[in-house]
């Protein structure tokens, strides 16, 4: 089975890319979904978050107050690392279990979407890595559309590896400053080329591979 990693900066188009893949019957697991699952009520990780960051992080409905937690950890790198130490091992165990299931089912290709793929040193797990990227101005517009303040946007961008480094370390790059149909065409091109040896750089969006 060909296992592809999908990564990219916040607001750069990973979710759209995952939708295109699923529409082509390619199995995808998104670690953003897993990150929500591991802090559902009753999960051990939720109790650890509450113990570390305080009872106010849990709402009256027993669920994690994600916005409040984000306001706590993104301005504080130490707090963010503490949270990641709770969540990341559990998230990795879940997507690895899904990959094992796909292999047992003899899937030919599958994808794991991990925003912090390089930051969590997951690169060796994959046959190739796809980076989804866009210009800083487009990224800013997309994140403002989520209702985030300029300070919140800066904190989230600063919490990730620079996009240029993600691009340099990836095998394929999809440039998303384009209509969705062009984005999808780039994805199709990469799927056709994904049998290339690891280490070859394909930039599907017409942007030079620096």
Task: Please tell me if the domain spanning 1-27+108-210 has the same topology as the one spanning 33-106.
Answer: yes
Q: Where are the domains positioned within the chain?
A: 1-27+108-210, 33-106
Lowest mean pLDDT among 19-28, 120-129, 176-185: 176-185
Q: In the Cβ-directed half-sphere of 177, how many Cα atoms lie within 13 Å? A: 11
CATH class label, 1-27+108-210: alpha beta
The 10s digit of each residue's pLDDT in 77-128 is 999 999 999 999 999 999 999 999 999 999 999 999 999 999 999 999 999 9
Per cent of the chain over pLDDT 70 is 92
3-state helix, strand, coil in the chain (%, to 5): 50, 15, 35
Confidence check: pLDDT of 207 > 50: no
CATH class label, 33-106: alpha beta
Q: What is the pTM of this model?
A: 0.88
Helices 44-53 and 66-73, axial angle in degrees (round to 10): 50
């Amino acid at each position: 089975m060909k296992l592809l990693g999908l990564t990219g900066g916040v607001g750069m188009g990973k979710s759209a890319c995952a939708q295109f893949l699923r529409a082509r019957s390619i199995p995808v697991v998104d670690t953003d979904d897993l990150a929500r699952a591991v802090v559902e009520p009753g999960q051990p990780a939720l109790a650890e978050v509450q113990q570390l960051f305080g009872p106010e992080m849990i709402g009256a409905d027993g669920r994690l107050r994600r916005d409040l937690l984000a306001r706590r950890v993104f301005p504080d790198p130490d707090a963010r690392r503490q949270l990641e130490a709770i969540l990341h091992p559990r998230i990795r165990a879940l997507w690895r279990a899904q990959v094992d299931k796909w292999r047992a089912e003899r899937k030919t290709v599958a994808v794991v979407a991990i925003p912090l793929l390089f930051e969590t040193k997951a690169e060796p797990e994959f046959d190739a890595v796809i980076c989804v990227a866009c210009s800083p101005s487009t990224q800013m517009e997309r994140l403002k559309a989520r209702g985030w303040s300029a300070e919140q946007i800066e904190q989230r961008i600063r919490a990730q590896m620079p996009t240029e480094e993600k691009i340099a370390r990836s095998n394929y790059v999809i440039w998303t400053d384009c209509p969705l149909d062009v984005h999808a065409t780039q994805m199709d091109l990469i799927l056709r080329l994904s049998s290339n040896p690891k280490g070859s750089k394909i930039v599907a969006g017409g942007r030079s591979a620096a």
